[in-house]
């Protein structure tokens, strides 16, 4: 069921809906774990090193990249993590290997990423209702576009905004505002559906006064206090029923 915490914010259908991608439309952790294992195994085999050496070098590389690039799309770049990891291991940039390891990661990631049940049905419902939709997501455009195409969602969403395009990760205002500029909703009732209590929920509420709905599943925790959503749900099919009920009130 959809749990409503601020009933007054759900008196009508939305004029537009923004969706996060990772860990909202599909569970991120299983896909990431499988992909990281595949890269780890390949690096260990290639250089005949112990797995702990990979773990230490990769962790340091990731931390360095994130510290340097902060809240930008490139701070999430698997390619940059792997390039820096090879350098930390004393091997130089090794660009061909870095590219190969990155492709291993994303190939494995996508093959283990599965949409939550009901996502496409919900998007079909929204199209029939005439409600425009957009993805607002962190990370670089290329990989997020690849995910959308892999899931077969490229014809379901009207627009997509990545943090690479916006110049900032959520919860910065830029990704949300660019999405609204593209969509030009007819009214001011905009929903944001995401999993992250800070980036998606608090960010959308504070930056564009969105009605916020948090996707809850294994490994995610309901936002509290200033990070609390207006509603939460665990099943997209339940959200479909909730939208249908709102539509009957029109």
Reference 126, options 11, 243, 9; nearest CA is 243
Q: Are residues 105 and 223 in the same domain?
A: no
- 115 secondary structure, DSSP code: P
The confidence score (pLDDT) of residue 73 equals 86
Q: Where are the beta strands (DSSP E) in 45-158?
A: 133-137
The confidence score (pLDDT) of residue 179 equals 97
- H/E element, 4: strand 3-4
Q: Are residues 48 and 118 in the same domain?
A: no
The confidence score (pLDDT) of residue 250 equals 59
- Residue where a domain stops, chosen among 65, 89, 111: 111
Q: Are residues 228 and 153 in the same domain?
A: yes
β-pairing, 3-4 vs 231-233, is antiparallel
The confidence score (pLDDT) of residue 113 equals 97
**Structural domain of 71:** 29-111
The confidence score (pLDDT) of residue 169 equals 93
Q: Are residues 91 and 153 in the same domain?
A: no
Q: Residue 200 is part of a domain; what is its CATH number?
A: 3.40.50.1000
Q: Are residues 19 and 64 in the same domain?
A: no
The confidence score (pLDDT) of residue 226 equals 96
Q: Are residues 179 and 160 in the same domain?
A: yes
- 190 secondary structure, DSSP code: E
Q: Are residues 131 and 16 in the same domain?
A: yes
Q: Are residues 21 and 51 in the same domain?
A: no
Return the structure tokens found at 15: 């004029």
Q: Are residues 211 and 231 in the same domain?
A: yes
Burial class (CB in 10 A: 0-12, 13-18, 19+), 162: buried
The confidence score (pLDDT) of residue 40 equals 97
Return the structure tokens found at 26: 């599909």
Per-position DSSP letters for 147-181, written without gaps between them: HHHHTT-TTT-SEEEEHHHHSS-TTSHHHHHHHHH
Q: pLDDT 10s digit of each residue in the chain, 250 long?
A: 899 999 999 999 999 999 999 999 999 999 999 999 999 999 999 999 999 999 999 999 999 999 999 988 889 999 999 999 999 999 888 999 999 999 999 999 999 999 999 999 999 999 999 999 999 999 999 999 999 999 999 999 999 999 999 999 999 999 999 999 999 999 999 999 999 999 999 999 999 999 999 999 988 899 999 999 999 999 999 999 999 999 876 5
Distance CA 64, CA 161 (A): 26
Reference 40, options 75, 85, 84, 76; nearest CA is 85
β-pairing, 190-194 vs 211-215, is parallel
Q: Are residues 100 and 184 in the same domain?
A: no
- 171 secondary structure, DSSP code: T
Q: Are residues 147 and 223 in the same domain?
A: yes
- Residue where a domain stops, chosen among 43, 76, 111: 111
Tally the C-alpha atoms within 13 A of residue 219's C-alpha that lie toward its C-beta.
8
| Structural domains of the chain, count | 2
Q: Are residues 129 and 76 in the same domain?
A: no
- Residue where a domain stops, chosen among 96, 111, 126: 111
Judge whether 191 and 13 are in contact, CB under 8 Å: no
3-class DSSP assignment, residue 109? helix
- H/E element, 57: helix 51-69
């Amino acid at each position: 069921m959809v749990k409503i915490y601020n009933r007054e914010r759900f008196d009508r259908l939305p004029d537009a809906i923004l969706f996060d991608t990772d860990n909202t439309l599909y569970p991120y952790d299983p896909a990431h774990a499988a992909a990281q294992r595949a890269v780890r195994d390949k690096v260990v085999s290639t250089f005949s090193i112990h797995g702990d050496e990979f773990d230490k070098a990769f962790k340091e590389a990731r931390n360095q990249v994130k510290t340097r690039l902060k809240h930008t799309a490139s701070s999430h770049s698997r390619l940059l993590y792997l390039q820096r990891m090879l350098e930390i291991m004393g091997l130089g940039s090794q660009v061909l290997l870095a590219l190969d390891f990155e492709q291993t990661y994303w190939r494995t990631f996508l093959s283990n990423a599965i949409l939550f049940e009901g996502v496409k049905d919900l998007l079909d419902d929204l199209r029939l209702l005439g409600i425009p939709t957009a993805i607002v997501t962190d990370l670089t455009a290329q990989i997020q576009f690849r995910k959308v195409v892999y899931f077969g969602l490229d014809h379901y969403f009207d627009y997509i905004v990545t943090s690479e395009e916006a110049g900032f990760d959520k919860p910065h205002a830029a990704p949300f505002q660019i999405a609204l500029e593209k969509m030009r909703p007819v009214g001011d009732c905009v929903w944001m559906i995401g999993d992250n209590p800070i980036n998606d929920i608090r960010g959308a509420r504070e930056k564009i006064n969105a009605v916020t709905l948090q996707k809850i599943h294994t490994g995610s925790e309901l936002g509290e206090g200033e990070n609390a959503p207006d509603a939460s749900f665990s099943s997209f099919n339940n959200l479909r029923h909730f939208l249908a009920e709102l539509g009957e009130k029109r």
